[in-house]
C-alpha cells in the first residue's frame, strides 16, 4: 500500500505541475485566451472545474496520453492512457501497484488530502478531444467507495 500511495503521489504531483505551468503560459501576441481546454468533475457533491490538458503518457507507452483536470483548490482528476478515438465507451480498470505504469486505462484523483484510485467505471469519448466519465473510486486511506463523474475537453 505504501508503494501504491507513493506512485499515486508522484504521478499526481507531476501532472499538477504540468497543468499549473500550462495554465500560466501565454503565447507572444496572445490576447489572453489560449488553447487549454476546460473540464469539471464532482466528488461527494462538490464540483471542481478548471483547465483540462493532455500530456504524453507518464506510463512510457508511445502514443498514449494522460489527461488531467485541475482546479485552483488543488483538486485534480487524471485519466491515464486516454483512448484516442473520437467516439466510443471504454472500461476503466482498478489502479494497482502492478499496472501503475502500464498501458491500461485507469484514473486517479486528489481532493484536499484525500487520494482516490479507480476501481471501475467508464469513459465515453464525445469527440476527438472531449470526454465524459463516471468512475468508481476508492479512498486509499479509508477504503470508502465513491463515484466521480464529470467531463472535459482538452
Domain ranges of the chain: 2-25+37-153
Provide the sign of the torsion angle of the four alpha carbons 115, 119, 125, 126, taken in this order.
negative
Q: Is 153 helix (H, G, I), strand (E, B) or coil?
A: strand
pLDDT (tens, 9 = 90+) of the chain, 154 residues, equals 545 554 545 555 445 444 444 444 433 334 444 568 999 999 999 999 999 999 988 766 777 899 999 999 999 999 999 998 899 999 999 988 776 667 889 999 999 999 999 999 999 999 999 999 999 999 999 999 999 999 999 9
pLDDT tens profile 66-108: 999 999 999 999 999 999 889 999 999 998 877 666 788 999 9
Number of neighbours of residue 40 by Cβ within 10 angstroms: 16
Amino acid at each position: 500500500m505504501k508503494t501504491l500511495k507513493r506512485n499515486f503521489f508522484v504521478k499526481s504531483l507531476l501532472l499538477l505541475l504540468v497543468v499549473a505551468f500550462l495554465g500560466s503560459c501565454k503565447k507572444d501576441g496572445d490576447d489572453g485566451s489560449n488553447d487549454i481546454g476546460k473540464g469539471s468533475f464532482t466528488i461527494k457533491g462538490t464540483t471542481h472545474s478548471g483547465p483540462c490538458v493532455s500530456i504524453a503518457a507518464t506510463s512510457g507507452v508511445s502514443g498514449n496520453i494522460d489527461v488531467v483536470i485541475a482546479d485552483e483548490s488543488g483538486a485534480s482528476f487524471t485519466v491515464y492512457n486516454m483512448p484516442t478515438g473520437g467516439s466510443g465507451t471504454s472500461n476503466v480498470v482498478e489502479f494497482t501497484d502492478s499496472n501503475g505504469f502500464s498501458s491500461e486505462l485507469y484514473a486517479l484523483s486528489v481532493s484536499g488530502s484525500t487520494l482516490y484510485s479507480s476501481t471501475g467505471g467508464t469513459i465515453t469519448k464525445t469527440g476527438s478531444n472531449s470526454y465524459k466519465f463516471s468512475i468508481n473510486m476508492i479512498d486509499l486511506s479509508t477504503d470508502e467507495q465513491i463515484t466521480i463523474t464529470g467531463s472535459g475537453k482538452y
